[in-house]
Each structure stands twice: as structure tokens, then as C-alpha cells.
Copies of this chain bind each other. A is one copy, B any other.
Amino acid sequence: MVKVGTHLVVDAWEAPTDLLNDPDRIRSAITDAVCAGEATLIDLCVHQFSPHGVTATATLAESHIAIHTWPEYGYFAADLFFCGQGKPEEAVDFLTTALQAKKITVKEIDRGFSLQANHPEKMKTYVY
């Protein structure tokens, strides 16, 4: 496999409801996580849903960070896809600490492609 980047798939919960519904706190957490990960921010969209929930999508020189919150569950999903330079683990640590999640799962996925000539045209796998 030719690896181009590391993708950390984060599910985090038992976080404070008010924090997960505050777009300013989410904006601050994601921009500080970009710094902690030694990444370069190109663009940031933060959107608040009604009646609750915040989505933030950061476009990076290294790829992206996205976060989606469900304050009613005390839960948020985060994705940190870093190619080349950068420290995604540090960004995850910062983000989950800033948003005060007590329970965290992280799936680490190598992103890239196969050089095998006999690789099937389409392949689907389920990840639990």
C-alpha cells in the first residue's frame, strides 16, 4: 500500500451539553487543535443548527478536521485527516480535552492505495 496520510476517526461522549452547543467554544477548540497538531488552517466553517448542534469543518493544508456535535447526547464525532507533516494525535488530545469528553474511541486508518495489479475494482468493508 502507498500511504498518503493518517485519518483518526474519533467518537467522544459524556461531554457537557452547553459546551457542545456553543459555536464560539467549538471554533476556539478546533483552531487551537489545528495549532496543537502543527497544521495550517486554510478555511473554517462553523454552523449552528436549530434547536441544537454545531458543525465545524476546517480545511487544512494537511487535509481536514471536521466536528459534529449532538449536545442532547453529550456526544461529538470528530475526524482528523493529516497527510505529510502535522501531529494528529496531539490535535485529538487537545480537542477531546477542550470539549471535556470523558469517553473516547479513536480508530486510526491509513489512507492510500494499493499497487497490486490484481486488486479488485471495488472492495467494501464494514468497520465496527
Partner-B contacts on A (CB < 8 A) = 2, 4-5, 7, 9, 11-13, 42-43, 45, 47, 49, 55, 57-61, 63-64, 66, 68, 70, 73, 75, 77, 79, 81, 83, 102-114, 119-128
Residues of B within 8 A of A81 (CB): 66, 68, 77, 79
Given A66-B81, A109-B9, answer yes or no on A4-B75 (Cβ-Cβ < 8 Å).
yes
A contact face: mostly helix, strand, loop, or mixed: strand
Residues of B within 8 A of A55 (CB): 42, 59-60, 63-64
Residues of B within 8 A of A122 (CB): 103-106
A114 adjacent to B103 (CB under 8 Å):
yes
Distance A12 CA – B111 CA, assembled complex (angstroms) = 10
Given contacts A45-B45, A105-B124, 16 further A-B contacts (CB under 8 A): A5-B77, A7-B77, A11-B113, A13-B114, A49-B61, A55-B60, A57-B58, A57-B66, A68-B81, A68-B83, A73-B113, A103-B113, A106-B123, A107-B124, A107-B125, A109-B126
Residues of B within 8 A of A126 (CB): 107-109
Residues of B within 8 A of A104 (CB): 121-123
15 contacts between A and B (CB under 8 A): A9-B9, A9-B109, A9-B127, A42-B45, A43-B47, A55-B63, A57-B58, A64-B66, A66-B66, A68-B83, A79-B79, A79-B81, A104-B122, A107-B124, A108-B127
